[in-house]
């Protein structure tokens, strides 16, 4: 097990190097000069442009810029944004916010989705199942910004149950509405996935065996059916958590959440190479770790799966 | 200069149905005179500053809004754009070239440092020196000793006479120099700033109506909290307890917060609400022309657009555009059709400058002029207008292209660039081979600021490389006048020539669109589209 984890972590190193290089190159190759754009519709003298470029190392060739950046990372220095703020501070400020948002959303979709999916699967063809199917179909087809604007208008402006946008410091009560919005799309997926999986497991021999040896339904459902149905669902939730972690640009924009998605979007628009690459580096790390955890979780859920060196 | 990616909100022309003009509610403050709660905090929208909060290194609206609140310059601008002394006791000159500036006595920064001649001269010297790479350095370009080729730590044109007096020598007469002194690049800095300017940019100390609410008041990407500066006793004395500027990533979010009552005043309205916000906030909204001029530039180097043929074609294009229709249908009445090259909020503006008829819609005349040009050299090809696709410009560019197609019988289309940076780079490098969208937001309220930087030969933002010796001479004469009215007369003569040459085709002025909740009173928008926060009052809750 330890050997397996170590090997996976070592594999992460080339992945990280490769992704940072690619992303840095893409930001560098983005057409248009970010320094020119800093001046808006006005054209400053070329000497001023040159001086500003020099300050951000933007006058150096690509490979030098990249190596300077990489060298900085090894010293824990992620560079500074155009506003003079160290990128490490920006990371430390935005990731906790998005982590909270993603965690709340995941709780909503995991608890709600699995519960609804389980009941649907056990009562296949019933009223509950049919209406859950219809509702999930509607939720899947709605674009997230429609859900977000509607929720914001109804619950924020009209009913006043929630603050319309997230206030300073991103308190948890403000994050509940955007988290619910974020959860809607995946919620429907989880419901359908759980339902299909439960139906399949319910027809398995070991469930029939359990029933025939006299176990109550109350014990069969959670221990035999649910546990064995969860493997695909857990994979989906984990991957989804990874997706939520790397930021939800649209939702964060609508609810003004000071998280990863909004900040990264701004940095891309402004052409701030160091900020963009630092964010992506951390995102890749998160993704790798989440994937590793998922693989390890399989073994817990299904004792037949074993990791050997 | 306060840059905003002039975000032109546009809806698809296909959706153009009703030709209703949005009611323009007046932006005048209610004269209720009800004394507000002097401790109430006004909340408003803003955006995360793109640069450290150092006056000479801030050139965009996000940081500019904060700097204008926490600093007081030599002069300030009232709602109409008129200039009044703030820190200055007097600004005098006999020849419009050499100025003597006297500062009011006993003024202090919020940390106790005195506001004196040194605080201005040192800040300007720093801003101008090449090695400091300040974004607004070229604002000092007309002061004697300024150089773009070598680093000069001090400008020879700035001299401290005594504690409260300094002189400025310019390289040429400039009658509008005193008008520009309210711009943020010319703000003073306290002595303590020089110890660690980087730290200062994070926690700036000013001398204005407001100050930061302690260390760390700037919460990046969230908000900045300002409180009233008790020591400020100038003309912009705050009538409230402070100002919370919340940074929004989208206009939709700030509007939702206005509807939800989480913010008192906003100075931007999202596209989706443009047709409804005046009804939703009755008597509490504005929709009035701002100091932002929109046009498209036709570079002189394009074939068919120089000489007499060029003049005819430019006039034909201008007359083939129905500005009223586009501003009504596409912009829901939130743009004002242009009548000149400047803006109605500027002192000296006139909508009847001789030659301005060329901006009136007249398809017959347009066709006729185009035919005359064809007689000189026949037209071929497509007329294209380049624009940045990330700024919501597609709607109006397509509309203009369609009108040119229909009214002139030529091929016309938009030429989108994916990003603002890409379009600007091509324009700056002169590699662009079509006409292109252009716009100008004034740095300070003066006619010259709309003309000199854009149409003077070799001027910084003359991206179309327009050159006319008559224009250059008149601009120079106008600047040499010590009387502002005499100067404006010359500048209007410049416009007469511009209407003939049309280096850029004027389209419309952007409007300021804002609204506020009934929690606040005395809301008035300044000449630069930013609310005059200091005079807003809020009733005690």
pLDDT at A32 over 80: no
Residue A196: which residues within 8 A CB-CB, separation 6 or more? A121
Q: Give the nearest chain A residue to B441 (CA atoms).
A: A41
Contact B461/A152, CB-based, under 8 Å? Answer: no
Q: What is the dihedral of CA A38, A40, A46, A50, to 10 degrees?
A: 0
Contact A263/B221, CB-based, under 8 Å? Answer: yes
Beta strands in B350-462 (DSSP E): 382-388, 411-417, 435-441
- In this structure, are residues B358 and B387 in contact, taking their beta carbons and an 8 Å threshold? no
Contact B3/A41, CB-based, under 8 Å? Answer: yes
- In this structure, are residues B127 and B136 in contact, taking their beta carbons and an 8 Å threshold? yes
pLDDT at B10: 32
Q: What is the largest CA-CA distance in chain A?
A: 87
Query: How far apart are alpha carbons B306 and B300 in whole angstroms?
Result: 6
pLDDT at A308: 58
In this prediction the pTM is 0.82
Query: How far apart are alpha carbons B456 and B459 in whole angstroms?
Result: 5
Whole-number average pLDDT of chain A:
82
pLDDT at B181 over 50: yes
Q: Comparing C-alpha atoms, which of B475, B497, B460, B469 is closest to residue B340?
A: B497
Q: Which of residues 38-97 of B touch A (CB under 8 A)?
A: 48-52, 59-60
Which of A132-140's residues contact partners 24+ apart within 8 Å by CB, and which partners?
A132/A191, A132/A195, A133/A192, A135/A188, A136/A187, A136/A188, A136/A189, A136/A191, A136/A192, A137/A188, A139/A184, A139/A185, A139/A187, A139/A188, A140/A185, A140/A188, A140/A189
- In this structure, are residues B86 and B164 in contact, taking their beta carbons and an 8 Å threshold? no
Query: How far apart are alpha carbons B227 and B217 in whole angstroms?
Result: 10
Residues of chain B in contact with residue A83, where contact means CB-CB under 8 angstroms, are 48-52, 220
Residues of chain B in contact with residue A165, where contact means CB-CB under 8 angstroms, are 248, 253, 256-257, 260, 262
B361/A contact by beta carbon, under 8 A: no
Contact B50/A270, CB-based, under 8 Å? Answer: yes
Q: Comparing C-alpha atoms, which of B505, B147, B164 is closest to residue A51?
A: B147
pLDDT at A273 over 80: no
pLDDT at B14: 29
- Side-chain-side CA neighbours of residue B471 (13 Å): 24
Tens-digit pLDDT profile for residues B183-235: 999 999 999 999 999 889 999 999 999 999 988 899 888 899 999 999 999 99
**Helix, strand and coil percent figures for chain B, each rounded to 5:** 35, 20, 45
pLDDT at B35: 61
Window from A137-151, B79-93, B182-196, B367-381 with minimum mean pLDDT: A137-151
Q: Comparing C-alpha atoms, which of A93, A74, A118 is closest to residue A230?
A: A118
Interface test with B, best of A42, A95, A157, A258 (most B CBs within 10 A): A42
DSSP symbol at B222: T
Whole-number average pLDDT of chain B:
88
Residues of chain A in contact with residue B424, where contact means CB-CB under 8 angstroms, are 32-33, 36-37, 39-41
pLDDT at A253: 85
Which of A155-162's residues contact partners 24+ apart within 8 Å by CB, and which partners?
A156/B256, A156/B260, A157/B256, A157/B259, A157/B260, A160/B260
Contact B420/A37, CB-based, under 8 Å? Answer: yes
- In this structure, are residues A198 and A118 in contact, taking their beta carbons and an 8 Å threshold? yes
Percentage with pLDDT > 70 across chain A: 97
Q: Give the nearest chain B residue to A30 (CA atoms).
A: B422
Q: Comparing C-alpha atoms, which of B383, B420, B419, B413 is closest to residue B398?
A: B413
Contact A43/B49, CB-based, under 8 Å? Answer: no
Tens-digit pLDDT profile for residues B455-471: 999 888 898 999 999 99
Query: How far apart are alpha carbons A115 and A131 in whole angstroms?
Result: 14
Contact B221/A94, CB-based, under 8 Å? Answer: yes
Query: How far apart are alpha carbons B444 and B226 in whole angstroms?
Result: 24
CA of A101 to nearest chain B CA: how many angstroms apart? 16
B141/A contact by beta carbon, under 8 A: yes
Contact A41/B259, CB-based, under 8 Å? Answer: no
Closest partner residue to B253 (CB to CB) among A33, A84, A255 is A255
Query: How far apart are alpha carbons A275 and A264 in whole angstroms?
Result: 8
Q: Comparing C-alpha atoms, which of B145, B144, B138 is closest to residue B170?
A: B144
Q: Give the nearest chain A residue to B260 (CA atoms).
A: A157
Q: Which of residues 140-179 of A touch B (CB under 8 A)?
A: 149, 152-153, 156-157, 160, 163-165, 167-170
Tokens of B260: 């939800």
- What are the two backbone dihedrals, phi and then psi, of residue A266, each rounded to the nearest 5 degrees? -60, -40
Percentage with pLDDT > 70 across chain B: 93
Residue A33: which residues within 8 A CB-CB, separation 6 or more? A49, B421, B424, B425, B428
pLDDT at A211: 82
Contact A44/B201, CB-based, under 8 Å? Answer: no
CA of A25 to nearest chain B CA: how many angstroms apart? 17
Interface test with B, best of A30, A39, A146, A156 (most B CBs within 10 A): A39
Helix (H) / strand (E) containing A135 = helix A127-141
List b or e across B356-372, with b for residues whose CB sees 16 or more CB atoms inside 10 angstroms: bebbebbbebbbebbee
A95/B contact by beta carbon, under 8 A: no
Residues of chain A in contact with residue B460, where contact means CB-CB under 8 angstroms, are 42-45
Number of other CB atoms surrounding residue A90 within 10 Å? 25
pLDDT at A249: 81
B4/A contact by beta carbon, under 8 A: yes
More reliable by pLDDT, B263 or A88: B263
Query: How far apart are alpha carbons B272 and B112 in whole angstroms?
Result: 47
A86/B contact by beta carbon, under 8 A: no
pLDDT at B81: 83
Q: Comparing C-alpha atoms, which of B282, B274, B277, B268 is closest to residue B518?
A: B282
Q: How many CB pairs under 8 A join A and B?
A: 172
Number of other CB atoms surrounding residue A204 within 10 Å? 14
CA of A133 to nearest chain B CA: how many angstroms apart? 32
A251/B contact by beta carbon, under 8 A: no
Contact B250/A84, CB-based, under 8 Å? Answer: no
Tokens of A208: 């029939």
B433/A contact by beta carbon, under 8 A: no
CA of B18 to nearest chain A CA: how many angstroms apart? 25
Q: Give the nearest chain A residue to B48 (CA atoms).
A: A83
- In this structure, are residues B450 and A41 in contact, taking their beta carbons and an 8 Å threshold? no
Percentage with pLDDT > 90 across chain A: 1
CA of A62 to nearest chain B CA: how many angstroms apart? 18
Interface test with B, best of A29, A33, A41 (most B CBs within 10 A): A41
Contact A270/B262, CB-based, under 8 Å? Answer: no
- What are the two backbone dihedrals, phi and then psi, of residue A90, each rounded to the nearest 5 degrees? -65, -40
Tens-digit pLDDT profile for residues B491-506: 999 999 999 999 999 9
pLDDT at A39: 79
Tokens of B266: 């906003």
Domains of chain A: 1-34+281-309 (no CATH), 99-270 (1.10.3720)
Whole-complex ipTM: 0.77
Contact B460/A44, CB-based, under 8 Å? Answer: yes
pLDDT at A66: 83
CA of A155 to nearest chain B CA: how many angstroms apart? 10
Residues of chain A in contact with residue B248, where contact means CB-CB under 8 angstroms, are 165, 256
How many distinct helices (H) and strands (E) make up chain A? Answer: 14, 0
Helix (H) / strand (E) containing B436 = strand B435-441
Residues of chain B in contact with residue A261, where contact means CB-CB under 8 angstroms, are none
């Amino acid at each position: 097990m330890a050997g397996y984890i170590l090997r996976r972590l070592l594999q992460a190193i080339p992945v990280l190097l490769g992704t940072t290089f690619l992303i840095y190159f893409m930001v560098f190759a983005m057409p248009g000069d970010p320094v020119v754009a800093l001046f808006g519709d006005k054209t400053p003298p070329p000497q001023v442009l040159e001086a500003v470029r020099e300050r951000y190392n933007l006058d150096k060739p690509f490979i030098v810029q990249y190596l300077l950046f990489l060298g900085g990372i090894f010293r824990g220095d992620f560079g500074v944004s155009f506003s003079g703020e160290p990128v490490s501070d920006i990371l430390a400020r935005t990731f906790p916010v998005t982590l909270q948002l993603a965690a709340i959303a995941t709780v909503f979709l995991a608890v709600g989705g699995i519960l609804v999916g389980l009941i649907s699967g056990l009562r296949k063809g019933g009223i509950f199942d049919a209406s859950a199917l219809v509702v999930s179909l509607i939720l899947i087809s709605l674009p997230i910004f429609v859900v977000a604007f509607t929720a914001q208008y109804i619950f924020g402006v009209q009913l006043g149950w929630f603050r319309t946008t997230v206030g300073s410091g991103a308190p948890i009560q403000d994050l509940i509405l955007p988290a619910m919005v974020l959860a809607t799309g995946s919620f429907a997926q989880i419901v359908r996935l759980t339902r299909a999986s439960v139906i399949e497991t319910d027809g398995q021999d070991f469930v029939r065996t359990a029933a025939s040896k006299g176990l109550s339904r109350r014990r069969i459902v959670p221990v035999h059916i649910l546990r064995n149905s969860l493997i695909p669902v857990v994979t989906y939730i984990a991957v989804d958590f990874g997706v939520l972690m790397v930021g939800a640009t649209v939702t964060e924009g609508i609810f003004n959440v000071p998280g990863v998605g909004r900040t990264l979007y701004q940095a891309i628009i402004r052409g701030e190479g160091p900020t963009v690459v630092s964010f992506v580096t951390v995102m890749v790390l998160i993704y790798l770790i989440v994937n590793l955890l998922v693989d390890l979780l399989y073994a817990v859920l299904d004792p037949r799966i074993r990791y050997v060196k | 200069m306060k840059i905003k990616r002039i975000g032109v909100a546009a809806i698809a022309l296909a959706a153009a149905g009703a030709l209703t003009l949005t009611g323009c509610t007046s932006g005048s403050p209610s004269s209720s005179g009800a004394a507000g709660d002097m401790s109430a905090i006004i909340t408003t929208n803003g955006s995360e500053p793109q640069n450290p909060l150092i006056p000479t290194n801030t050139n965009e609206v996000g940081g500019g809004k904060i700097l204008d609140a926490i600093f007081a310059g030599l002069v300030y601008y009232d709602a109409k754009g008129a200039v009044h002394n703030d820190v200055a006791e007097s600004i005098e000159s006999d020849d419009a070239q050499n100025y003597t500036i006297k500062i009011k006595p006993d003024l202090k920064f919020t940390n106790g440092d005195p506001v004196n001649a040194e605080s201005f001269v040192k800040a300007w010297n720093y801003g101008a020196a090449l090695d400091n790479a300040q974004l607004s350095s070229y604002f000092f370009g007309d002061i004697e000793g300024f150089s773009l080729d070598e680093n000069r730590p001090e400008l020879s044109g700035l001299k401290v006479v005594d504690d409260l007096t300094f002189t400025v020598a310019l390289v040429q007469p400039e009658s509008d120099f005193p008008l520009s002194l309210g711009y943020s690049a010319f703000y003073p800095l306290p002595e303590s700033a020089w110890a660690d300017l980087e730290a200062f940019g994070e926690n700036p100390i000013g001398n204005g109506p407001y100050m930061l609410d302690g260390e760390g008041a700037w919460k990046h990407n969230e908000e900045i909290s300002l409180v009233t500066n008790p020591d400020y006793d100038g003309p912009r004395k705050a009538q409230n307890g402070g100002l919370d500027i919340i940074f929004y990533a989208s206009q939709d979010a700030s509007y939702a917060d206005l509807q939800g009552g989480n913010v008192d005043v906003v100075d931007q309205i999202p596209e989706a609400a443009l047709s409804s916000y005046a009804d939703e906030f009755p008597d509490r909204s504005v929709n009035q022309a701002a100091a932002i001029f929109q046009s498209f530039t036709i570079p002189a180097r394009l074939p068919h657009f120089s000489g007499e043929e060029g003049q005819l074609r430019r006039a034909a294009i201008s007359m083939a555009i129905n500005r009223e229709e586009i501003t009504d249908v596409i912009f829901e009445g939130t743009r004002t059709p242009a009548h000149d090259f400047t803006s109605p909020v500027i002192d000296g503006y006139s909508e009847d400058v001789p030659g301005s008829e060329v901006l009136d819609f007249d398809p017959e005349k347009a066709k006729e002029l185009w035919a005359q040009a064809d007689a000189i050299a026949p037209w071929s090809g497509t007329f294209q207008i380049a624009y940045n696709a990330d700024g919501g410009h597609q709607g109006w560019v397509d509309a203009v292209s369609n009108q040119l197609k229909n009214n002139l019988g030529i091929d016309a289309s938009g030429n989108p660039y994916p990003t603002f940076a890409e379009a600007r780079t091509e324009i700056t490098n002169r590699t662009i081979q079509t006409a292109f969208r252009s716009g100008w937001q004034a740095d300070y309220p003066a006619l010259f600021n709309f003309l000199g930087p854009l149409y003077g030969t070799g001027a910084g933002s003359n991206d179309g490389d327009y050159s006319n010796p008559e224009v250059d001479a008149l601009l120079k004469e106008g600047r040499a006048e010590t009387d502002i009215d005499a100067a404006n007369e010359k500048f209007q003569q410049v416009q007469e020539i511009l209407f003939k040459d049309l280096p850029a085709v004027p389209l419309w002025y952007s409007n300021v669109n804002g609204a506020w909740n009934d929690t606040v009173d005395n809301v008035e928008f300044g000449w630069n589209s930013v609310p005059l926060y200091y005079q807003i009052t809020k009733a005690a809750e």
